[in-house]
Structure 1
Amino acid sequence: MSSFEQLTEMKRQREKVDWSDAKKRHEFIRRLASLIRDWKGELPDLRDVFQPREINELLIHAMGVLSDVSTIVAFVARTGYKDEPELDKNNRPLLNRCTPLHMMSPSYRLGFLDKGEEIIRALFGIYDDFEVNYIGPMGRTHLHVACEFGLVDIVRKFLDSRQDINCRDLYKNTPLLVALTEYDRAKEVVKLLLERGANVALANRWRQTPLLVICRDLNNKEENYDLIESLFKINQDKRQGMRVNARDEEGHTALHWALLRHHAATLRLLLRHGADPTIPDKRRVSPLHGIFLRRDEDTMRLLLEAIGELSPRQQRRQTSRVDAQLEGKTALHMALDCANKEWVRWLLRRGASPNIADRKGQTPFHYLCQLECTGRLERVELVAWVYKFFSIVYEVWPRRSLLRLDARDELGGDAALHRALECDNRSAFEELLRMGADPDLANRRGETALHVICRRGMHHGYAKSLFEICDQRDRAPRIDAPDEGGDTPLHLALRVMMDVCVNETVELLLRRGASLSLVDGRGSPPLHMICMIGREEIGLLDTFFEICDERQQPVLVDATDSEGRTPLQWAVANSRLRTVERLLERGADLSGFVFPTESYFGEGHSSWMCYLYNFEVMARALGLVDFLEKRGYEFDRSDVLTIMKFFGRHRVLDAPRKHHNDWFDEPSFVNRAKELMIEPSLSLHDLLRLPTKEAAKRFTHRDYCELWNTYRFRYLPRDYLEVCAWHLCEIIGRGFFWEWALDALVELTNFRLPPLCCEMIMDNLRNKDLMNICLAAGERNDTTPLR
């Protein structure tokens, strides 16, 4: 086909096209592209075929046909066609006009990455009037397009034609912002725009300034740093008002982005020009908060080093909002939560306040005291950490009256002093007291520091430190202050002694003036509580009486508690033989003594006891029976049944599961048992070989108590310890159970069998069987024997 024929075909196709029908328009473009590919000979003058407006429309619509756009654009350019602007009635160009250049965008050019620059340069060859900067859809101009594609020569022509270097589209993007967004391909354009005076302070619709865009897209290349530095220089020279702390739509500053990108050089540059690391974003997260939330030590170190290079005046100015809060927490709260002493030291020296409370009402002092509970620091490291914290606080806050040491949290009304005790943070506890924390301040439970120490059974060193520091401050703590339950610290210490030994704390409280007569919330005075303790605490009792004598305060040993029980009854209920002796020596009345009832007999003992302690329990109880009988108390059957039921509840008489008859012939046991001497002429092995009745008569129950206190049995092989303890229980309890079971058995047989026959029957029974006989006789309504 000749060129004439091709031109004729082009005109024919032109006449057939319906520009308003997208489908026909698309088909026309496909046929035209096919015709152009086979074009031979002289190129036509397109004005002979199309009107200028049609050529513009053709090029615009061709942009939607990716397979043919390059063919059509190149053909139009080869024909030498040049677009001419349309004029208004005053012969001025109409700028609001859409051209194919406006169709070129980063998302669009993905379809022809290999020919993108070729196409756009061809289009700029067609639309080559740089005196006219057409404004297309969304306010985008030809200058914006040239900057976006990095066409520095085209941009220069626009600027030489005095086009507005700061023109903005509907999104308020300037050519500089557009070029920075495509910086990898538009580096030379950015440089040219800055040289020609582009405004570096203007922001787009999303409040992004050139500085923010650069920092958001930072990489580790040196050119980014140079670019930012040039922005600051231009701003300084031309006074364009660029704000280093400007925030984008999300509230991010340039410093936010520099920190996220870990760009040290840019970070230092921004800080030198006044960037503030405490400005929060839209979510109220400042750069400092973000670092702490991520626990990003590398970034924090980078920030600290950069700020450390600034002058003191700059440091103060740029950390002025160091106490900004995120969800109620300041940066200091977060640093303490991370247990990072470098961050805490830096924040304190930059003016971070230790007085600000979070949403739970907890100040940084609370956080410091709770570090022990987190387990993030070793004890030795924590002590050094606490002392360093308070030394900086002393330095920064010389007026201690301004410190909110006694601020109470929202949950339990605990002050930092309470939290230090709850978390066993002794160093923080002592430092708080030295700084002036109130030891008498109570939480919502009415607990002072002394209450917490005593309730938790803490080491007596805590109470000792409290009194010593209060003495140095010339202040006496309220030692008898009651909590909401009516308990004083002494009551709590005595109550916890039932599980933990805190004798020193109790003695300290007594010597410091704790009341000897105040009752606790349950109506028990201190003497009663001492007697309630399950184990023998004769030293504590002696101290109590000694202090009473020193104060010349009479001891009411027969006083009753709210349940009508005397100290003597409690001591007997807990089988406290030596305590009973002391009480009687101090004048306790045995003549009117009422034996404890089943409801509280043995209450001080654990509900679960191992086999080894069964022997101790029985020896103590039966030793007490002997002692009371010698002092004139006459036991009746109900008293004895109370004791036996206690033995039954705790399975004191139960035989071991692995019991076998030849256990004391085992060589490993025999050798060790022969080494354990009960007395110079009698070993444990000899004692166990004796008949039960004879062995029971060799020693008193009190002797067996003393034997227990020597801890000799602990040296026996573990496999034999249980059965040995059970056998000793059979020995020491034989006389007691025999005496009471004999009368009970005679009674159960309705006196049909003489005592001699009953003894013959009992000879073959164990203590548990004898106990069941007593229980059966005493409680006819309960015929089920104890198992």
Structure 2
Amino acid sequence: MKFNNNFDLTSGDQQKLVELKNLRKLITWEIEKNRHEFLSHVDSYIDGSETNPNLRDIFQDEEVERLLFDSVNCIHNGDDKGARFIEFVYRTGYKDKPKVDENDEPSLHRTTPIHHVVRHKNSNLFNNCSVHDLFKIYDRYDVNYIDELGYTHFYVACKYGLNDVVKKYLEFGQDANCFMTETCDGPLHVAMGVPEGNQNQVVKLLLRNDANPNLANAEGSTPLHILCENPYDQHELAEVFFKITNEKHQIVQVDALDKFGKTPLHYAMANGNKMQIVRVLLRNGAEPNVASNDGSTPLHIFCARGDDDDNLTKIFLGISDELRRPVQLDTQDKEGNTPLHLTLHHNFPRKKVAELLLKRGADLNVINNDGSTPLHIICKRGNDAEFLVKMLFEIKEEKRLQIQVNTEDKQGRTPLHWAVARFLPNVVNILLYNGADLSSFVFPALSHFDEGFKD
């Protein structure tokens, strides 16, 4: 049934209420489009009304809830009228009445609009105010409703940083270590994984109510893993986490391994904006040399990144030295690569980081599983090769190091072979000047030139 556009919801409040009741009679509740048209009409009522009607004089409870579900969907689709309707329902003083079982007890297994807040990929479009308003409508904190996907009201409160709501649930005896989804995330995992809301206060509440700081989820990730893995700079939250666990004399397993064998420090080193969190982890006992399942240390992870900011490397190496836990620069991963190999392997190598590693004593002669030394990689990649080769030999002279210029990789090729194949005449000259053996040099085959350009 179509709505009559002659309905006037811009008149006086009493007339508006009459019109609202008449509009409600026109809804075909099973048709979503019909309900959304109704919400659009109600939006004009909300905009100008100074009174708050008793919604139960107009709607059945099931109808209000269906409109709240639709309002959540509106927000996920970027439509603000959903947030306005939720606020309107809250302002009227409407409270949800729990559905009870045969023993007159509230049924825990129930899906509400609050659950739908986190079901969509666009859950970040939801502001905390709208979620808070929903909790004022569904305000039974002694009942932690769980939907068919395993989400609970407590989960949503933790995710959106609703400190007062989390506090009320805990006061009613909610377990601060309950598993909350099929991933087995605990409340701390949820609270430390998102930037929304007052997360610091929620984390404080959970820890002070005996949340386990070392609880691992189905992926083996602890709350610290989650904090370090997300893309946000939340070093203050990390500081709060360690401050409270220290106050409670709890031992944090700062080097806990997830299913990939990675520690929180591995993830912190993978993110460019985690400099302060790296500081916090190291000063709270993180071991800088733990190798993951593929043999990668945190330094490997950092050097595999594409940017050339050496500030994090300086901090990482400096604090580790200060704490007398020096970083092992030449650890090889399962492919035989050291951090220096990975630094040089980019199409646009990280010159600052490479220079720092070399000046700190990284071994220039380590060969990986392909038989390549760092010098092979420079000559093979081509980009910035002249700069890097000059830098390498300058540091060699400065530090009085030995470079094995004539090492052959598993294809029998020396750095000189690769420099010729990549048409790097200046690099060829530098190599020859520094001892490259020309007497046994065999000019590369045509296929070798092609291979060079593919790499």
Query: TM-score under structure 1 normalisation?
Result: 0.42
Q: Say whether 1:51 aligns with 2:60.
A: yes
Cα drift, residue 154 of structure 1: 1.6
Question: CA separation of 1:376/1:278 partners in 2, compared to 1, >3 Å: closer, same or farther?
Answer: farther
Question: CA separation of 1:37/1:410 partners in 2, compared to 1, >3 Å: closer, same or farther?
Answer: closer
Cα drift, residue 132 of structure 1: 0.8
- What is the rounded CA distance, in whole Å, between the counterparts of 1:303 and 1:42 in structure 2? 59
Q: Which amino acid aligns with 1:55?
A: V
Provide the residue aligned with 1:214 in structure 2. Answer: 227
Q: Which amino acid aligns with 1:175?
A: P
Post-superposition Cα deviations, 1:428-479, rounded to whole Å, max 9, x if no partner, equal 79xxxxxxxxxxxxxxxxxxxxxx68679xxxxxxxxxxxxxxxxxxxxxxx
Q: Which amino acid aligns with 2:333?
A: A
188, 193, 205: which is aligned to 1:192?
A: 205
Q: What SS does the aligned partner of 1:376 have?
A: helix
Provide the residue aligned with 1:89 in structure 2. Answer: 102
Question: CA separation of 1:88/1:150 partners in 2, compared to 1, >3 Å: closer, same or farther?
Answer: same
17, 20, 24: which is aligned to 2:27?
A: 17
5+ residue gaps, structure 1, are 391-403, 430-451, 457-787
Kept in 2, the 8 Å contact 1:245–1:275? The answer is no
Cα drift, residue 130 of structure 1: 0.5
Cα drift, residue 26 of structure 1: 2.6
Cα drift, residue 223 of structure 1: 2.2
Cα drift, residue 336 of structure 1: 9.2
Cα drift, residue 203 of structure 1: 4.9
- What is the rounded CA distance, in whole Å, between the counterparts of 1:67 and 1:301 in structure 2? 47
Aligned pairs (5 A) from 1:209-358: 209-216=222-229, 223-230=236-243, 233=246, 237-239=249-251, 242-247=253-258, 253-258=264-269, 260-261=271-272, 266-272=277-283, 273-277=285-289, 279-280=291-292, 286-292=297-303, 296-311=309-324, 314-315=325-326, 319=328, 322-326=331-335, 328-331=336-339, 333=341, 343-344=357-358, 346=360, 357-358=367-368
Question: CA separation of 1:47/1:171 partners in 2, compared to 1, >3 Å: closer, same or farther?
Answer: same
Provide the residue aligned with 1:122 in structure 2. Answer: 133
Identity %: 27
Kept in 2, the 8 Å contact 1:143–1:155? The answer is yes
Provide the residue aligned with 2:125 in structure 1. Answer: 110
Question: CA separation of 1:278/1:322 partners in 2, compared to 1, >3 Å: closer, same or farther?
Answer: farther
- What is the rounded CA distance, in whole Å, between the counterparts of 1:93 and 1:137 in structure 2? 17
Kept in 2, the 8 Å contact 1:219–1:261? The answer is no
Question: CA separation of 1:55/1:334 partners in 2, compared to 1, >3 Å: closer, same or farther?
Answer: closer
Kept in 1, the 8 Å contact 2:275–2:312? The answer is no
Cα drift, residue 49 of structure 1: 4.2
Kept in 2, the 8 Å contact 1:322–1:347? The answer is no
Aligned pairs (5 A) from 1:147-546: 147-167=158-178, 168-183=180-195, 185-186=197-198, 187-203=200-216, 208-216=221-229, 223-230=236-243, 233=246, 237-239=249-251, 242-247=253-258, 253-258=264-269, 260-261=271-272, 266-272=277-283, 273-277=285-289, 279-280=291-292, 286-292=297-303, 296-311=309-324, 314-315=325-326, 319=328, 322-326=331-335, 328-331=336-339, 333=341, 343-344=357-358, 346=360, 357-362=367-372, 375-377=389-391, 382-385=396-399, 387-389=400-402, 409-412=409-412, 423-424=431-432
Kept in 2, the 8 Å contact 1:323–1:353? The answer is no
Question: CA separation of 1:231/1:408 partners in 2, compared to 1, >3 Å: closer, same or farther?
Answer: farther
Provide the residue aligned with 1:545 in structure 2. Answer: none
Q: Which amino acid aligns with 2:32?
A: A
Question: CA separation of 1:261/1:375 partners in 2, compared to 1, >3 Å: closer, same or farther?
Answer: closer
Q: Which amino acid aligns with 2:331?
A: V
- What is the rounded CA distance, in whole Å, between the counterparts of 2:430 and 2:177 in structure 1? 64
Q: What SS does the aligned partner of 1:237 have?
A: coil
Kept in 1, the 8 Å contact 2:390–2:430? The answer is no
Provide the residue aligned with 1:146 in structure 2. Answer: 157
- What is the rounded CA distance, in whole Å, between the counterparts of 2:219 and 2:27 in structure 1? 43
5+ residue gaps, structure 2, are 1-10, 346-350, 420-427, 442-455
Kept in 2, the 8 Å contact 1:211–1:254? The answer is no
Aligned pairs (5 A) from 1:679-718: none
Post-superposition Cα deviations, 1:125-174, rounded to whole Å, max 9, x if no partner, equal 22111101112364322222223333211211111011232341244443
Kept in 1, the 8 Å contact 2:288–2:297? The answer is no
Kept in 2, the 8 Å contact 1:278–1:320? The answer is no
- What is the rounded CA distance, in whole Å, between the counterparts of 2:21 and 2:379 in structure 1? 90
Q: Which amino acid aligns with 2:97?
A: E
Kept in 2, the 8 Å contact 1:82–1:125? The answer is yes
- What is the rounded CA distance, in whole Å, between the counterparts of 1:201 and 1:407 in structure 2? 47
Q: Which amino acid aligns with 2:322?
A: E
Post-superposition Cα deviations, 1:91-132, rounded to whole Å, max 9, x if no partner, equal 332122222223435935737x5xx51x43333222111101
Q: Which amino acid aligns with 2:36?
A: H
Kept in 2, the 8 Å contact 1:150–1:179? The answer is yes
Post-superposition Cα deviations, 1:711-749, rounded to whole Å, max 9, x if no partner, equal xxxxxxxxxxxxxxxxxxxxxxxxxxxxxxxxxxxxxxx
- What is the rounded CA distance, in whole Å, between the counterparts of 1:422 and 1:5 in structure 2? 90
Q: What SS does the aligned partner of 2:115 have?
A: helix
Query: TM-score under structure 2 normalisation?
Result: 0.67
Question: CA separation of 1:130/1:297 partners in 2, compared to 1, >3 Å: closer, same or farther?
Answer: closer
Q: Which amino acid aligns with 2:339?
A: A
Post-superposition Cα deviations, 1:40-84, rounded to whole Å, max 9, x if no partner, equal 87843x445433333322322243454544554344334433222
- What is the rounded CA distance, in whole Å, between the counterparts of 2:438 and 2:36 in structure 1? 88
Kept in 1, the 8 Å contact 2:114–2:156? The answer is yes
- What is the rounded CA distance, in whole Å, between the counterparts of 2:344 and 2:89 in structure 1? 70
Kept in 2, the 8 Å contact 1:333–1:367? The answer is yes
Alpha-carbon RMSD across the aligned residues, in angstroms, is 4.9
Q: What SS does the aligned partner of 1:306 have?
A: helix
Provide the residue aligned with 1:77 in structure 2. Answer: 90
Post-superposition Cα deviations, 1:327-363, rounded to whole Å, max 9, x if no partner, equal x432355689979676347566xxx796x53244345
Q: Which amino acid aligns with 1:211?
A: L
Provide the residue aligned with 1:607 in structure 2. Answer: none
- Larger RCO (alpha carbons 8 Å, 6+ apart): 2
Q: Which amino acid aligns with 2:106?
A: P
Q: Which amino acid aligns with 1:412?
A: G
Q: Which amino acid aligns with 2:155?
A: H
Question: CA separation of 1:375/1:17 partners in 2, compared to 1, >3 Å: closer, same or farther?
Answer: closer
Question: CA separation of 1:290/1:276 partners in 2, compared to 1, >3 Å: closer, same or farther?
Answer: same
Question: CA separation of 1:91/1:232 partners in 2, compared to 1, >3 Å: closer, same or farther?
Answer: same
Kept in 1, the 8 Å contact 2:265–2:286? The answer is no
Cα drift, residue 211 of structure 1: 1.6
Kept in 2, the 8 Å contact 1:245–1:276? The answer is no
Kept in 2, the 8 Å contact 1:372–1:425? The answer is no
